[in-house]
Every structure is written in C-alpha cells, then in structure tokens.
Amino acid sequence: MSALDALDDRQREAASVLRGPVAVLAGAGTGKTRVITHRIAHGVDTGAYSPSRVMAVTFTAKAAGELRGRLRALGVGGVAARTFHSAALKQLNFFWPTLTGDTAPSIIDSKVRMLGQAADAMRLRPSTATLRDIASEIEWRKVSMLSIEQYAEQGRPISGIRPEQLIELQAAYEALKDDRRQLDFEDVLLACAGMLEAEPRVAAAVHEQYRHFTVDEFQDVSPLQNRLLELWLGERRDLCVVGDASQTIYSFAGAQQRYLLEFERRFPDATVVRLERNYRSQAPILEIANALMRGRPGALALVPTGAGLGSETPTLTGYDSEREEAEGIAEAIVKRIAAGASPAEIAVLYRAHSQSAVLQQALAARGIATSVLGGTRFFDMPEVRQAILGLRGAAVAPSDVGFLPTVRDVLRGLGLTEEPPAAGGAQRDGWEARRAILRLAEEAPVGTTLRVFADDLMARAQDQHEPVLHTVTLSTLHAAKGLEWPHVLLAGWAEGALPISYASTFEQVDEERRLAYVGITRAARTLAVSWSRSAGRGERSPSRFLAEIGTTSRGTGILRDAAPSARRPVRQD
C-alpha cells in the first residue's frame, strides 16, 4: 500500500512533489499533518529520501512528538522532527566543543528572574508584571533580529519603566547573562545562526546531514527563524512549507505571515497546492468562518466534505453580565452532557486567562470537572509521575496477578477511588489523571504486559502524547490552536474582550479577527457564541466580528439567536 493511497486528490498532489520548493496552503481541518507525514513517508518509500537526512520543523514539542508518532505508524523512523529551538540547540551542543574546546553555555530558566537581578543592580524596583513585559520585549527584539540600539529607535513603551531605563536594563540583562556564560531561549537561535554564518565547515556538515526540509505552521515564522532556515538550506531548494495565513495569531511575538504569502515570489517555480476541503466542521460552522475571513490576505474558502444534513445551526446568546454568561454556558453544557456528549468532547474558549475563573466556578457548582489548557502538562503532574514509577516498580516484581488488576491495584494504592471527589481543585485533577491512565490500560491490546505498558507511558511522555481526560476543556483561543472538539462554546464576544481593548490599529484588530477564526474552526459539530453587556462597572457592545458575519437580533444572518430557558438575552443592536 502506497503512502499516497489514504489522501484525497489535493493532498496527494501536495505529497507527490518530493523535490524543489513546495508550499501547501492548508486551511483549518484540511489534513495538513497527514500531508506532511505521508509526503515524508512517500519520499522514504520511493527512495527519494533517506530518513536521517530529513528535518521536519514545527513550533511546539507536542507537535514535533505527534509528527514522530505518525511517522512511526507509517513505518518511518529516524526523521529529525523537532522544534526550531531543539534543532538549533542540538547543533550548538554538537559543534561548540569542537569550535571552542569547551562545553556550550547553559540555558537560563527564567528571564524574569535574571531581569530582576539586573534591575536590583541598577537600584530599580519594577513590578513582576513589568518584568514579564520586558522579558516579552526582549524576545520580540531578538526574533526580529534587532540590536538594542535598533530596538530603542522603535519607541515601544512599557508601563512602569522609563524608556531610557528600559534600554539600560536590557543591556544590563545581556551583560549579566554573558558574565554567567548563559544563553536565553532566543540566543540559542541567534548563536546557531551565527555559527553557521561564521564557520563554513559547520555549515558544510549541516548541509551534508540534512537535505530535505519541511516546516509546519509556516505562517508563524519569525525573521530569526526564517534566517536560520535559510542557513540550514544553503543553496538547496528541497523545502516544503505548510501554513494558513488566516491562523497567524502570534504577530505580537514576532511572527510574520509574509514569509508564507510571499513564498512564490521567493521561489517563482514553486509548486503551490491549496487545501480547502475541510474534514472537521459542519457546513454551517464553515459558513461563519469563511464569512469572517472573506477578502483577507491568503484566506482560503473552506469547503465541507458533506452536505451537513442534520447539523445544528450555530447560536448566539447575549447576557446582562459575565456571571450570567458563565451560568448560561454551564447550563448549556449540562444539557449537552445529558443528551449523551462526553465532557471531553466539549470546550469553552475565551480571549484571556482572566475569563476562566467565573466559568470554572459555574461548572464546578454543577459537578462538572474542567481542565484548563496551559496549566501543568499531564506527564508533569506529580500524580502521573507517581503512577508511572509505581507501575515500573510493579513490572519488576514477580507477580501472578494479571496486567489490568495490577494496574488497578497500583492506582488505588496511590489514591484512585471508584467515585471522583467533588468537582474542581487539585484533588479532582489528580483523580482525573489516574483515571486516564486506567483507561489507557483498559484500552491496551490483548497480551500487553505491565512492562510494555509502563514503557509506552514513558514514550508518550517523551512525545507529549497526552491521554484524553473526561473533563470539559477551558482554554484561551491562543492555546486552542491546532486542537478540535465536537462541541465548542465561544465566550466573551464583546468589544473590549474580542477584539481586546488594546487592539487599536488595523493590524492588531485583524490579528484579533484571526483569533476569532481559530476559535470558530475548532468546532466540529456544534458552535455556540455568547457575549455579555457588563464587565464590572462598564458596559460593552457586541463584538464587531458578529456584525461582520451578519448576525442580527431577529435571528437572520448566519448565527441563530438563542435564549437560555431561564434567562432573557439582552437586546442586540
């Protein structure tokens, strides 16, 4: 069976071109990861690629782990599937001793802490929030490839510190870092790029090692990452980039979608394939997504794979207050679960972390457990680490007890009970984690041993392949990118929240629109949008994005007005 057999016509077209520059413009839910992995597998199967000479680059360790897992499932091992940073760090650690006779510098664990120490030396006392903002500015400056002097000319003010102090503090931070022989996260990319530019023998070795490059989420590439990619490529042209300009949501961190939009200008002979057949969402959801992005640069017109018969029309509900909105969302989730949906199939997405607390309270009051994305990773939870250690220990000790009973005994000994504790809090989080491990054991193939199961958990931890928790997911729109759920509720679609209040320029508002688009396209079967008139003491109006997709208070337009049974929605002007 060919690696191309499982692809549709457009996907097959993208995966069949193995040489030269290729741009895959892949809309939400169109199977971009499938294309990436099947294209690499096809190259290996046909002998065009040697796995060890392929580098697949993405932006998160989890995404890199998913690529490796999917490639293994296709029978392909040995491909370097890494983030930009991990690839650069590996090269630094390999070449640095040869070039300098010493080990590579260590990586600092916290910019904020070192900035605080530099500020103390200057007798400054900025708040922790100000230090975090300065750390973000340092990251933006470096990925934008600006010196401190060039950054000073940008005139980017930060609350809580004078402009001249900001520049002086950045210089003091760099000096302190150099004195301690340390690098920060962005320095890893800068140092790797500098090494490749200054040392021809290093560049030659890298060019010999890696011949074929694939870059996922290319719309999120920064100037520094693009420069490093150019240095990795050298004079070669075997580059496949995959991305969606409509999902550029990290411009504030230095991402520039122009590298994707201008790919054909850079490579006039590039093969460009547009993936617009959406395999995720029902037709009414795609209609909203397309309406929101119509006319935007690089926007793709998503096409549903089916007619969407029997699909629910997305709804819009307005409330008088944020608390009433949270209560209404919680009631809707209760009804959805009562109708047969699993909590794991439901997500509530919002613009800012501050919106999560009231939602957690409303759901906890109804006995519904939640998981907040962006919190502690599953395999970093102490309960999970204890479970893996316990299972590995049990695997060493001889026992006549079967695999599944042993797993149950280990987890019970660590605190797993038949019934969960009250919803919310660390105890419920730990219970859900242990229960997820038990479900993995219950779903394991017949004949699985305890040792194999424990080793599989370790492999999952390395790839960040987290099991599904039976909880409702709460997430910011940024953290939800790349994920999907059957049922999605979008909260807080009011002016000042989405677009957020400090988005004042056309470019900033356009980025907020792309965030809204990401939220909409996370939904597979149902979508509910809501907003509230009051936030604290202030009054708000519906998000301008609702007007752009043609909603009215009379139920015309793409979204259907929906009033919760026990609450009156506010009038929508």
Q: Which residue numbers belong to the known binding site for ATP?
A: 26-33
CA distance 196 to 224: 13
CA distance 368 to 358: 14
CA distance 368 to 28: 29
Measure CA 159 to chain center: 28
- DSSP assignment letter at 183: E
CA distance 422 to 448: 33
Annotated binding site: 26-33
Contacts of 539 (CB under 8 A, 6+ apart): 533
* Residue 298 Rama label (left phi>0; alpha psi -120 to 50; beta): left
CA distance 570 to 40: 53
Q: Among residues 507, 472, 512, 510, which one has the least CA distance to residue 492? A: 512
Beta bridge partners of 80: 55
Q: Strands 106-107, 346-350: parallel, antiparallel or unpaired by DSSP?
A: unpaired
Measured CA to CA in angstroms, residue 433 lies from 262, 356, 416, 420, 438 at distances of 45, 21, 9, 11, 9
Joined together, the tokens standing for residue 164 give 């001249």
CA distance 185 to 171: 17
CA distance 529 to 349: 10
Positive or negative: CA dihedral 37, 233, 192, 189: negative
Residue with tokens 């796995």: 51
Other CB atoms within 10 A of residue 307 CB: 9
Beta bridge partners of 107: 183
Residue with tokens 């219950």: 442
Phi, psi for residue 58 in degrees, rounded to 5: -140, -170
Positive or negative: CA dihedral 159, 161, 162, 166: negative
Contacts of 497 (CB under 8 A, 6+ apart): 350, 351, 352, 355, 531, 535, 540, 543
CB of 214 closer than 8 Å to CB of 35? no
Contacts of 157 (CB under 8 A, 6+ apart): 163
Phi, psi for residue 50 in degrees, rounded to 5: -95, 125
What is the DSSP annotation of 186-229? HHHHHHHHHHHHH-HHHHHHHHHH--EEEESSGGG--HHHHHHH
